[in-house]
């Protein structure tokens, strides 16, 4: 396999000096590439023409004040969206926590303590959302 890659690399690296490459298939179906054909089971390999890569010119950056205001608005929206996601996750955790009672929570007080912590997380997430929305919260 390394020989195949080496031959392909050399054949594309120096196309002006490259000799003919032949693709030969053996009796067991194995394909080999060589410069010296050794029978009727070899045929000229179609390696394709070397491609020329060119980079597109970098677009000019205009120095204007309007784009500076857009990131602030998108930053505010991303804060609101992040707060909404945190609230949704906290509510999901609370619902899942109410349905499960762990083995070390045989005492009802431990269960209540854990649920109280989850409810506090929901309240904190609501406060974050309220702050992110600027005092408006939608339930």
Q: Which of 27-31, 46-50, 133-137 has the highest mean pLDDT?
A: 27-31
Across 31-58, average pLDDT: 77
pLDDT at residue 56, as a whole number: 72
Average pLDDT score, the chain: 77
pLDDT at 62 > cutoff 80: no
pLDDT at 139 > cutoff 90: no
Across 100-129, average pLDDT: 85
Instruction: Look up the pTM and report it.
Output: 0.42
pLDDT at residue 96, as a whole number: 87
Largest CA distance in the chain: 86
pLDDT at residue 65, as a whole number: 57
- Give pLDDT tens digits for 1-25: 777 767 766 766 655 555 788 888 8
Q: What is the DSSP letter of 94?
A: H
Pair 126, 87: CB distance under 8 Å: yes
DSSP H helices in the chain: 2-13, 66-99, 108-133
Pair 3, 24: CB distance under 8 Å: no
Percent of the chain at pLDDT above 90?
12
pLDDT at 69 > cutoff 70: no
pLDDT at 119 > cutoff 90: yes
Across 56-81, average pLDDT: 70
Rounded to 5 degrees, φ, ψ at 20 are -70, 140
User: Rounded to an integer, what distance in angstroms lies between the CA atom of residue 21 and that of residue 9?
Assistant: 12
């Amino acid at each position: 396999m390394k020989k195949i890659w080496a031959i392909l690399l050399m054949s594309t690296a120096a196309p002006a000096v490259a000799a003919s490459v032949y693709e030969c298939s053996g009796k067991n179906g194995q394909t080999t590439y060589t410069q010296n054909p050794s029978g009727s089971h070899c045929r000229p390999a179609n390696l394709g023409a070397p491609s020329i890569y060119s980079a597109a010119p970098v677009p000019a950056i205009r120095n204007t004040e309007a784009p500076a205001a857009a990131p602030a608005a998108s930053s505010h929206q991303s804060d609101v969206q992040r707060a909404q996601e945190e609230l949704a996750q906290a509510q999901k955790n609370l619902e899942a926590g109410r349905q499960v009672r762990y083995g070390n929570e045989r005492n009802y007080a431990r269960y209540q303590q854990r649920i109280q912590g989850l409810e506090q997380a929901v309240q904190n997430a609501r406060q974050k959302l309220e702050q992110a929305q600027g005092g408006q919260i939608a339930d």
